[in-house]
A and B are shown apart, each in its own frame.
Chain A
Amino acid sequence: MAEPILVVDHIVKRFETPEGVLTAVDDVSFTVAPGEFVAVIGPSGCGKSTLFNVIGGLLDGYEGRVSVSGETISGPHAAVGMIFQEESTFPWRNVIDNVAFPLEIAGMAKAERIEKARHFVDLVGLNGFERSYPSELSGGMRQRVSMARTLASEPKILLMDEPFAALDEQTRLLLGDKVLQIQQDLKQTTLLITHNLTEAVQLSDRILVMTYRPGRMKRMVDIKLPRPRSSEIVGSDAFGHYVAQIWNDLREEATKGLKDDESRRARTSRA
């Protein structure tokens, strides 16, 4: 196996809350090799998003170490591109200017950056919409704009935090195809945070299953499905087998999460 490009080393992150210290992420370690697609899956409240923010450099005050190509990072790093769960396009910029944003920040000349941004707009299949504003696009198209914007900064690692959570199942599968194709074309190293089983299995080479609060590593599953893949794979027996296997691990954690949530609600409603 090649030298890992991303090393996540014994990360622990705690938060102070009114009810005491909450350990969101507890001793998580893994590596991602160049060109690899790794997913982190877990029930809501397992600290996935915290992990995303730690690796992206948006959170500090954690124990452990994150390094990219051997370099320990603190704060946002040019090698790490982030795609957020929430709608994050700039409503005041049209598609091409949204995608060109990181190039503009890098100080690239206008003609050049538009040219380059156009390439990434094509890559996510939005050619023809360059002059449209986000408000004129569907949710799926906007999420592709965010994706193109992040890809335009040419990150070594793409970090995605439930990028399709707000979309319906069918759009999600089709966008998954887009991601597969882009990943193939660019050999893009990707770390996907998700709670969606199908999405994780459809896209990944490896899946890290996390426990509910505190977020620990439960299991790492290798997905030995052939590449190139497409969403048609969801019908195959092997796919179903992986989904069942991961759900087996996940169900226990999700149940804990649900019970915990319900008892917390019961407490607050009594209070």
Chain B
Amino acid sequence: MSARGIKGQAVPVLFGLACLAAFFILIEFLINIGKINRFIVPLPSDVVKSFARVAVEEDLLNRFLLTAYEALMATLLLSVAGISLGVLLHRVRLIRLATETWIAALASAPLVLMYPLFLVMFGRSAWTIIMIAFVSALPPVILKTLEGLSATRPVLINVGRSFKLTPSQLYWKILFPAALPTIFVGVRLGMIFALINIVGVEFLINFGGLGQLVNELSERYDWPGAYAAIGFVILVSVMFFMGTERIERWLRPGT
């Protein structure tokens, strides 16, 4: 998408980096001369320094692993349930006609706000977080699976019929592979929603991995630490996003 640049585009990229660096230096300078209150915005250099401290003192690795575990479980649930329901809706037209608009509507509702309900069911545990992430990210996975299966070009189905494929061969050799890129777009969307909601709910209910870290540090008024933790959360999400992008490209060979 936007990260197209390889060669001959080094100048704008460097310009962007330079602007970013200049921005942080300016902040540092303004705090040092007292134009910005250092209790509201900590020195960027302090934030960088506290990275190492937070990593050691707050057991960053285990927190990261806990968040990663929650994301993995939510992804598994999402893929299995979302794709199966999508296939069900595609195969049984009546169910699709009855429920597709409902699911599309649910996709636009702020389902994550149900998290207190899951707190009642599962307590302050990893399963509360996994389940809310799963439920709130499910509708787009179902809809994208359905979209991918329905958008298979009729000529490809005709090719299959001309070779006398059985209905199940038609599904597994043609419909499903044709839909796979779109299905993964849905799973990827679901994974991103899930991670956003996982970290968010960790922060809100003060349980678990990276989200809780931000909460704890800010409640201790350790602002350089909190900024560093937020930076780490952003870093992890960006890496996650890039990773899913990679998988998506791998699923669309040759493009």
Contact = CB atoms under 8 A, between A and B. Distances in A.
Chains A and B touch each other in the complex, with CB atoms below 8 Å apart: yes
Interface of A: 56-58, 75-78, 80-82, 84-88, 90-94, 101-102, 105, 132-136, 146, 150, 153
Contacts of B165: 105
A32 B165 CA distance: 27
A86 B153 contact: yes
Contact of A92 (B155, B164, B253): B253
Tell me the dominant secondary structure on chain B's binding face: helix
B177 A92 contact: yes
B119 to A, nearest CB: 43
Given A92-B177, A92-B253, A58 B162 contact: yes
A135 to B, nearest CB: 5
Leading 9 A-B pairs by shortest Cβ distance: A133-B254, A82-B162, A86-B155, A92-B177, A135-B254, A88-B155, A76-B164, A135-B255, A84-B155
Interface residues on B, range: 20 to 34
Interface string B168-210: 0100011001101100000000000000000000000000000
B163 A153 contact: yes
Contact of B159 (A84, A94, A133): A84
A92 B178 contact: yes
B249 interface: no
Given A58-B162, A76-B161, A102-B163, A94 B253 contact: yes
A135 B158 CA distance: 20
Given A76-B161, A105-B165, A90 B177 contact: yes
Given A77-B164, A88-B159, 15 more contacts: A57-B161, A58-B158, A58-B162, A75-B164, A76-B161, A76-B162, A76-B164, A81-B162, A84-B159, A91-B254, A94-B253, A101-B173, A105-B173, A133-B253, A153-B163
A82 B157 CA distance: 12
Interface string B225-255: 0000000000000000000000000000111
A48 B123 CA distance: 67
A1 to B, nearest CB: 28
20 contacts: A57-B162, A77-B164, A78-B164, A82-B158, A82-B159, A85-B155, A86-B155, A88-B153, A88-B155, A88-B158, A88-B159, A91-B254, A92-B253, A94-B254, A105-B165, A132-B254, A133-B253, A135-B255, A146-B159, A153-B163
A11 to B, nearest CB: 18
B162 A92 contact: no
Contacts of B178: 90-92
A151 to B, nearest CB: 13
Given A92-B253, A135-B255, A105 B163 contact: yes
Given A90-B178, A92-B178, A84 B158 contact: yes
Contacts of A91: 178, 254
Contacts of A86: 153, 155
A56 B162 contact: yes
A82 B253 CA distance: 26
A264 B66 CA distance: 66
B61 interface: no
Nearest to B255: A135
Contacts of A102: 163
A90 B156 contact: yes
A86 B253 CA distance: 21
A167 to B, nearest CB: 16
B99 to A, nearest CB: 29
